[in-house]
């Protein structure tokens, strides 16, 4: 098997730009097979001589690899943490972010070309977070990274970080798991199923073989609406929107149901759904959501304590106090199962789950002291 990657960047202008690596074939946990997997990734900073300064940052469900600006003007999703002079100082650390297998930001996914030259579509196999970890380990090999100084992520990114620490304990020195627990609960799977079903029941879905025709945009937008309700807290929605009607619309003035206007919160959810449709592939949404459903570090590894006893990393666990998707109690359960005495840091934010993105700066000092204070 031949594994190739684009050259490690040597010019500063390459920071924050997408690169690609072929990591060979993957035998998948659920029984499927991908013959030639390509991973898209971005990097910031430079790998030092002994490759001891590498940091992996894992994106969330519909996130991209663009963690920070780098050479581009596009704002990254963790600008508060990553960059020159930031908590994760890219003048000291070599930061890597990888698009998950099954994604639509450059890695092999359902919209990618299969060996017959046609998009994978309905033929794309089921992937798990363990599959994605195996793929990322191969990319780390091509970059010359034997062990990560730290692996970090929030939400699904946190689940991916945790899976790294359990699957490859010798390759993870520090691990930050933010706004996610040790496994996806029944309730989280239920929310996920509603989202994937919204896509699958779109008349344009065509069992996943919609490429070349109309895409299942309505189903994808509905899936995002369902998800976004779980990403925000009831307090935030009440504070921002309450029961106010959308301007120029009247929810309670219509002779028939189909003619009623919207409340502001409905307009907000419509906006969120339409935004995602413009940047994401519906099949990838299904594939990655199914991967997140698979999240369970105990699967085949005994009890939670048994599974986590495999780890050797120093852990940093954090939760958003108003999170109603991944409750803080799940972070406390994870921390209690880890070896040693691991505290749970708290992001105080009324926004809900998305606080791991918008308020991540609250953890800057703690993360710096725990993981990045080395000279």
Q: Give, in order, the Cα–Cα distances in Å from 306 to each of 248, 257, 309, 318.
A: 58, 55, 5, 22
> Catalytic: which of 233, 323, 331, 354?
323
Task: Write down the number of H helices and E strands in the chain.
Answer: 11, 11
326 close to 155: Cβ distance less than 8 angstroms = yes
For residues 17 and 35, what is the distance between their CA atoms, to the nearest angstrom? Answer: 26
Centroid of chain to Cα 68: 15
Residue 236's Cβ-count burial label (10 Å; 0-12, 13-18, 19+) is: middle
> Catalytic: which of 59, 66, 149, 353?
353
337 close to 305: Cβ distance less than 8 angstroms = yes
254: Cα within 13 Å, side-chain hemisphere: 11
For residues 270 and 262, what is the distance between their CA atoms, to the nearest angstrom? Answer: 10
For residues 102 and 287, what is the distance between their CA atoms, to the nearest angstrom? Answer: 6
Q: CA-based Rg of the chain, rounded to a whole angstrom? A: 21
Give yes or no: 375 in active site.
Answer: no
Closest CA to 266 of 251, 248, 285: 251
Give yes or no: 228 in active site.
Answer: no
68 close to 83: Cβ distance less than 8 angstroms = yes
Closest CA to 136 of 161, 109, 105: 161
Give yes or no: 73 in active site.
Answer: no
H or E element in which residue 58 lies: strand 54-58
> Catalytic: which of 22, 97, 112, 155?
155
Q: In what order do the strands lie in the sheet with 33-44?
A: 4-5, 19-27, 33-44, 94-98, 54-58, 150-154, 174-178, 314-320, 344-347
Greatest Cα-to-Cα distance within the chain, rounded to the nearest angstrom = 72
The catalytic residue positions are 155, 323, 353
């Amino acid at each position: 098997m031949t594994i190739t990657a684009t050259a490690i960047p040597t010019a500063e202008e390459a920071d924050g730009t997408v690169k690609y690596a072929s990591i060979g074939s993957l035998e998948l946990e659920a029984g499927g097979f991908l013959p030639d997997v390509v991973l898209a990734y971005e990097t910031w900073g430079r790998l030092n001589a002994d490759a001891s300064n590498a940091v992996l940052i894992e994106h969330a469900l519909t996130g991209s690899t663009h963690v920070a600006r780098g050479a581009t003007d596009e704002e990254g999703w963790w600008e508060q943490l990553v960059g020159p002079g930031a908590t994760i100082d890219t003048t000291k650390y070599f930061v890597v972010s990888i698009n998950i297998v099954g994604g639509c930001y450059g890695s092999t996914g359902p919209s990618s070309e299969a060996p017959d030259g046609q998009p994978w579509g309905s033929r794309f196999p089921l992937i798990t977070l363990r599959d994605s970890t195996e793929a990322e380990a191969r990319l780390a090999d091509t970059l010359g990274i034997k062990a990560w100084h730290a692996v970090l992520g929030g939400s699904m990114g946190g689940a991916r970080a945790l899976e790294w620490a359990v699957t490859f304990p010798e390759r993870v020195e520090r691990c930050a798991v933010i706004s996610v627990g040790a496994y996806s609960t029944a309730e989280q799977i239920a929310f996920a199923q509603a989202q994937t079903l919204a896509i699958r029941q779109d008349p344009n879905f065509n069992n996943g073989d919609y490429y070349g025709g109309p895409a299942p945009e309505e189903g994808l937008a509905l899936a995002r609406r369902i998800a976004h309700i779980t990403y925000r807290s009831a307090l935030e929605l009440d504070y921002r929107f309450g029961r106010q009607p959308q301007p120029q619309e009247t929810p309670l003035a219509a002779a028939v149901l189909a003619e009623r206007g919207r409340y502001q919160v409905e307009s907000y959810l419509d906006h969120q759904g339409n935004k995602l449709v413009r940047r994401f592939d519906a099949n990838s949404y299904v594939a990655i959501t199914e991967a997140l459903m698979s999240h369970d570090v105990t699967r085949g590894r005994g009890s939670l304590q048994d599974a986590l006893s495999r780890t050797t990393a120093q852990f940093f666990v954090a939760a958003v106090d108003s999170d109603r998707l991944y409750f803080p109690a799940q972070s406390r359960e994870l921390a209690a199962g880890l070896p040693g005495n691991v505290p749970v840091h708290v992001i105080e934010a009324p926004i809900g789950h998305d606080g791991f993105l918008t308020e991540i700066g609250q953890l800057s000092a703690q993360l710096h002291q725990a993981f990045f204070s080395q000279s």
